[in-house]
């Protein structure tokens, strides 16, 4: 009976220690966000998915009437910019310079 008690006490102590360590490695939520019952995200998961959230995208917008170049919208960070592409495989030329 004492072995069982000691084993349970050790298991409880370890679970409290591990639980505290996991809580320290999670991300915090902004105070403006209300998320009742949603578990905290582990920081390792946030770090692992960050490169996928920073990918660039390009969207076809149309054709330029002036020189028949293709107009594309690209995203750099959190800003979208307009570019012209003069020919297949050609480099983009940035048309808008928003920050």
* 53 vs 31: CA distance, rounded Å: 22
pLDDT value for 37: 86
Angle at 73 between CA 72 and CA 79, to 5 degrees: 160
Q: What are phi and psi of 66, to 5 degrees?
A: -70, -50
Angle at 86 between CA 94 and CA 53, to 5 degrees: 45
Q: For 62-74, what is each residue's pLDDT tens digit?
A: 999 999 999 999 9
Give residue 41's pLDDT band: very low, low, confident or very high (50, 70, 90). Answer: confident
To the question of pTM greater than 0.85 for the whole model, the response is: no
pLDDT at residue 28 greater than cutoff 70: yes
Q: Is 83 helix (H, G, I), strand (E, B) or coil?
A: strand
Q: For 42-54, what is each residue's pLDDT tens digit?
A: 999 989 998 888 7
* 87 vs 42: CA distance, rounded Å: 45
């Amino acid at each position: 009976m004492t072995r069982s008690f000691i084993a349970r006490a050790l298991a409880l102590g370890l679970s409290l220690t591990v639980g505290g360590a996991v809580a320290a490695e999670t991300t915090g939520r902004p105070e403006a966000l209300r998320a009742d019952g949603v578990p905290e995200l582990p920081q390792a998961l946030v770090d692992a998915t960050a490169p996928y959230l920073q990918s660039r995208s390009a969207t076809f917008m149309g054709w330029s009437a002036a020189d028949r170049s293709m107009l594309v919208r690209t995203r750099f960070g959190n800003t979208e910019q307009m570019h012209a592409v003069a020919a297949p495989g050609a480099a983009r030329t940035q048309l808008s310079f928003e920050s």
